[in-house]
């Protein structure tokens, strides 16, 4: 099918496709919140039935957490198989008062759909589903075999799926794995993502006295856990923004000349300033913002609490203090090994008498780095280029998709990261939205890429 017929397929599809997309968005499938457990289930039950009606073979795979949906269509066992990965779970909606329309009553304003999950990831996985649905309706077949793996716990670290992945190896076997959960640098800039950072997250819990103490009676005697926490946190980075944990960078390699050529590390400072209202002064001073964003590891303190922070003041030495931290990792950094380094360092820094716990969260993610020279990357790049009428950029993403590297190993397929997200989609934030123009482009790009990929193997 050529570009023109794909565009006319979208014309046929658009009305019902958008209606169904809005329905999918109306399920509050927040994976992290207990109160939404039945909404998460209803969402995946609806999707399973929807894909079954499309003619796909569907199966709900139970995990320790929320189930994963596997839906497949086999055209011919001799043709290649493409596995498309996405997630039907979404982030919580708080702070709810900042939404201009209710997050689970999708609202179209100026050509964009506003709802939690409109982009991340219901919108992105749904344009893939629509491309397959309408190709099947139009042609009665597909250019290659398709598997969809749509999970319900990406936003909480993909724990359940990660544990059972080895046991479903055979059912997810594929030649190609495409994770449709990333973005492009700007709305008129097609791009393919060739890298993700890995991630580990942990809590630091410090304990001092058995009760909160009066800071007049005990001040200068008892060691204040807040001070201990400040000391620990200050030791994590030096004055140049470099992470000061011994051996943290041991495995980090400088980019080679070839990598510098392959990856587009351009950084649009104007766009950054308009997103944040604040210059990019964090991180390692000696690297450019473009390098820091995705090629360098980082350590961020995501939350701190201890003692009193209400109105006025309270003269207290709190009995405990806490911090939440995440590290983003780059190739060759092993999440387990980095975790040990961090823990050893913190234990050494904590003042005598203060009890320390460093608790790692489950759901670590490995970094990913890919090449643009694979047949898979070429098939998608060609499709992006024919829809955008512009050369594709090859970018690295600073964020993480914990299951991506594991999926590649378990399925045995070549991996690629694609999507049409933009910073202004406000994923994870109030008023998340996705433009219908990009939903349409996504539909066309996926449809085109299926044909390109099927013809790679014929050559």
Applying CB under 5 A, the site for Mn ion has a residue count of 1
* Cβ burial 136-155 (10 Å sphere, 16+ → b, else e): bebeeebbbbbbbbbbbbbb
Q: How far is the CB of 428 from ligand BES (least distance, A)?
A: 6
Among 65, 143, 297, 421, binds ligand BES (CB under 6 A): 421
Asked whether position 402 contacts ligand BES by CB under 6 A, the answer is yes
Which range in 93-101, 297-305, 344-352, 393-401 contacts ligand BES by CB under 6 A?
Answer: 393-401
Name the token pair of 367: 């970094």
Instruction: Return d(Cα 382, Cα 430) in angstroms, integer.
Output: 34
Nearer residue to Mn ion within complex by CB, 120 or 189: 120
Among 83, 182, 356, 420, binds ligand BES (CB under 6 A): 182
Nearer residue to Mn ion within complex by CB, 87 or 133: 87
Residue 225 CB contacts under 8 Å (≥ 6 apart), including other chains: 206, 207, 208, 306, 317, 318, 319, 320, 321, 354
Nearer residue to ligand BES within complex by CB, 72 or 91: 91
Helix, strand, coil share (%) of the chain residues, nearest 5: 35, 20, 40
Nearer residue to Mn ion within complex by CB, 120 or 284: 120
Q: How far is the CB of 210 from ligand BES (least distance, A)?
A: 35
Residues in the chain: 459
Asked whether position 199 contacts ligand BES by CB under 6 A, the answer is yes
Residues 202 and 358: beta-carbon distance below 8 Å: yes
Q: How far is the CB of 268 from Mn ion (least distance, A)?
A: 22
Q: How far is the CB of 155 from ligand BES (least distance, A)?
A: 5
Among 80, 106, 160, 183, binds ligand BES (CB under 6 A): 183
Q: In whole angstroms, how far apart are CA 389 and each of 1, 106, 188, 382?
A: 18, 31, 9, 10
Instruction: Return d(Cα 231, Cα 426) in angstroms, integer.
Output: 34
Q: How far is the CB of 428 from Mn ion (least distance, A)?
A: 6
Asked whether position 284 contacts ligand BES by CB under 6 A, the answer is no
Nearer residue to ligand BES within complex by CB, 367 or 402: 402
> How many C-beta neighbours within 10 Å does residue 404 have?
25
Which of Mn ion, ligand BES, none binds 157 (CB below 5-8 Å, type-dependent)?
ligand BES
* Subset of residues 121 to 160 that bind ligand BES, contact rule: CB under 6 A: 121, 154-155, 157
Q: In whole angstroms, how far apart are CA 84 and each of 45, 81, 189, 376?
A: 19, 10, 23, 13
Applying CB under 6 A, the site for ligand BES has a residue count of 15
Which range in 178-186, 302-310, 340-348, 447-455 contacts ligand BES by CB under 6 A?
Answer: 178-186
Which of Mn ion, ligand BES, none binds 400 (CB below 5-8 Å, type-dependent)?
ligand BES
Q: How far is the CB of 120 from ligand BES (least distance, A)?
A: 5
* Subset of residues 114 to 133 that bind Mn ion, contact rule: CB under 5 A: 120
- Burial class (CB within 10 angstroms; exposed 0-12, middle 13-18, buried 19+) of 276: exposed
Which of ligand BES, Mn ion, none binds 81 (CB below 5-8 Å, type-dependent)?
none
Nearer residue to ligand BES within complex by CB, 185 or 351: 185
Residue 443 CB contacts under 8 Å (≥ 6 apart), including other chains: 10, 13, 17, 127, 130, 131, 134
Which of ligand BES, Mn ion, none binds 432 (CB below 5-8 Å, type-dependent)?
none
Q: How far is the CB of 27 from ligand BES (least distance, A)?
A: 17
Asked whether position 401 contacts ligand BES by CB under 6 A, the answer is yes
Nearer residue to ligand BES within complex by CB, 55 or 331: 331
Which range in 35-43, 108-116, 181-189, 407-415 contacts ligand BES by CB under 6 A?
Answer: 181-189
Instruction: Return d(Cα 273, Cα 250) in angstroms, integer.
Output: 33
Instruction: Return d(Cα 21, Cα 436) in angstroms, integer.
Output: 11
Which of Mn ion, ligand BES, none binds 136 (CB below 5-8 Å, type-dependent)?
none
Instruction: Return d(Cα 212, Cα 214) in angstroms, integer.
Output: 7
Torsion from C-alpha of 391, 396, 401, 405, nearest 10 degrees: 90
Number of H helices, E strands in the chain: 12, 19
Name the token pair of 351: 């003042």
Instruction: Using CB positions, name the residue nearest to ligand BES.
Output: 399
Residue 259 CB contacts under 8 Å (≥ 6 apart), including other chains: none
Instruction: Return d(Cα 148, Cα 177) in angstroms, integer.
Output: 10
- Residues of this chain that interact with ligand BES (CB under 6 A) are 120-121, 154-155, 157, 181-183, 199, 397, 399-402, 421
Q: Interface residues with Mn ion (CB under 5 A)?
A: 120
């Amino acid at each position: 099918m050529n570009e023109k017929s794909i565009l006319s397929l979208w014309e046929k599809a658009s009305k019902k496709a958008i209606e169904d997309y809005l329905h999918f968005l109306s399920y509050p499938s927040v994976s992290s919140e207990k109160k939404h457990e039945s909404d998460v289930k209803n969402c995946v039950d609806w999707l399973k039935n929807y894909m079954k009606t499309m003619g796909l073979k569907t199966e709900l795979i139970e995990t320790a957490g929320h189930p994963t949906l596997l839906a497949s269509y086999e055209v011919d066992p001799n043709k290649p198989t493409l596995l498309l990965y996405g997630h039907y779970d979404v982030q919580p909606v708080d702070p709810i008062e900042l939404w201009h329309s209710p997050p689970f009553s999708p609202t179209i304003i100026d050509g964009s759909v506003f709802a939690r999950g409109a982009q991340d990831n219901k919108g992105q996985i749904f344009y893939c589903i629509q491309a397959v649905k309408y190709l099947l309706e139009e042609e009665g077949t597909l250019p290659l075999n398709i598997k969809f793996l749509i999970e319900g716990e990406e936003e909480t670290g993909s724990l359940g799926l990660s544990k059972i992945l080895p046991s479903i190896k055979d059912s997810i076997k594929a030649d190609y794995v495409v994770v449709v959960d990333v973005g492009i640098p700007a709305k008129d800039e097609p791009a393919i993502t060739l890298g993700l950072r890995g991630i580990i997250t942990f809590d630091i819990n410090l304990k001092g006295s058995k009760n909160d103490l009066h800071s007049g009676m005990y001040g200068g005697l008892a060691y204040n856990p807040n001070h201990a926490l400040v000391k620990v946190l200050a030791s994590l980075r030096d004055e140049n923004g470099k992470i000061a944990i011994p051996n943290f960078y041991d495995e980090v390699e400088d980019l080679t000349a070839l990598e510098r050529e392959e990856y587009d590390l351009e950084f649009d400072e104007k766009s950054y300033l308009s997103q944040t209202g604040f210059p990019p002064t964090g991180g390692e001073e000696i690297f450019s913002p473009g390098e820091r964003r995705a090629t360098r590891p980082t350590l961020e303190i995501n939350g701190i609490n201890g003692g009193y922070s209400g109105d006025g003041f309270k003269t207290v030495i709190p009995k405990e203090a806490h911090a939440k931290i995440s590290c983003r990792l780059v190739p060759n950094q092993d999440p387990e090994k980095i975790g040990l380094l961090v823990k050893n360092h913190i234990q050494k820094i904590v003042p005598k008498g203060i009890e320390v716990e460093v608790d790692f969260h489950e759901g670590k993610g490995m970094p990913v780095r890919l090449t643009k020279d694979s047949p898979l990357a070429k098939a998608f790049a060609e499709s992006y280029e024919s829809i955008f009428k512009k050369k594709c950029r090859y970018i690295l993403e600073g964020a993480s998709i914990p299951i991506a590297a594991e999926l590649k190993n378990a399925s045995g397929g070549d991996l690629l990261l694609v999507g049409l997200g933009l910073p202004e989609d406000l994923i994870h934030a109030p008023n998340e939205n996705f433009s219908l123009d990009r939903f349409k482009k996504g539909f066309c790009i996926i449809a085109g890429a299926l044909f390109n990929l099927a013809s790679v193997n014929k050559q």
